[in-house]
């Protein structure tokens, strides 16, 4: 009986007035709920156009002095990324260096020089076991490039503590 009455009361036109009375109560209720949170969070700030700000160091397009490659691989791009990664490693930014070298590896996955560099980064950042594995990986790819083989073997020795 009283449930039905409640519903009728709320459902009727009188509820408008009642609702406004209740608002006062509500103001108190809602005020008790705690402080408001800040504005809706933003997304990553979009980059603005900065003419002339090249992100990569420009490599020699012909990559003079780079070892011979099996395929027509884009030496300019990988050499530029390799230089960037080496600079980041020298500056101690190992995560940045390895992200950059991985970018180069996606372009030229069987370039042993890049794997040696990734191994150097791992060694510098304190993972000699990983560095040794990457040196061995480089050696499987570099069977006729004496300079890279020497680099990989040096890395392997350093990583194995020999």
Residues 21-80, interacting with another protein (CB under 8 A): 22-23, 25-27, 29-30, 33, 36-37, 39-59, 61, 70-77, 79-80
Give the x-and-dash track for 94-113 against another protein (CB under 8 A): -xx-xxx-xx-xxx-xx---
Which residues, 113 to 142, sit near another protein by CB under 8 A?
Answer: 118, 130, 133-134, 136-137, 140-141
Euclidean distance between CA atoms 115 and 82, whole angstroms: 10
Euclidean distance between CA atoms 3 and 25, whole angstroms: 22
Q: Is 6 in the site for another protein (CB under 8 A)?
A: yes
Q: Is 147 in the site for another protein (CB under 8 A)?
A: no
Binding-site size for another protein (CB under 8 A) equals: 75
Euclidean distance between CA atoms 97 and 119, whole angstroms: 11
Euclidean distance between CA atoms 107 and 56, whole angstroms: 15
With a CB cutoff of 8 Å and minimum separation 6, the contacts of 147 are 67
């Amino acid at each position: 009986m009283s449930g039905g009455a409640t519903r009728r009361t709320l459902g009727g036109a009188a509820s408008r007035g009642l609702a406004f009375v209740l608002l006062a109560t509500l103001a108190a209720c809602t005020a008790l709920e705690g402080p408001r949170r800040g504005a809706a969070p933003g997304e990553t700030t979009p980059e603005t156009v900065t003419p002339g700000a090249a992100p990569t160091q420009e490599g020699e397009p012909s990559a003079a002095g780079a070892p011979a490659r099996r395929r027509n691989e884009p030496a300019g791009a990988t050499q530029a990324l390799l230089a960037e990664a080496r600079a980041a490693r020298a500056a101690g930014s190992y995560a940045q260096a390895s992200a950059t070298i991985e970018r180069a590896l996606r372009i030229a996955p069987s370039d042993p020089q890049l794997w040696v560099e990734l191994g150097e980064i791992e060694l510098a950042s304190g993972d000699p076991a990983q560095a040794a594995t990457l040196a061995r990986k480089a050696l499987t790819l570099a069977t006729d490039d004496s300079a890279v083989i020497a680099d990989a073997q040096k890395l392997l020795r350093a990583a194995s503590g020999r």
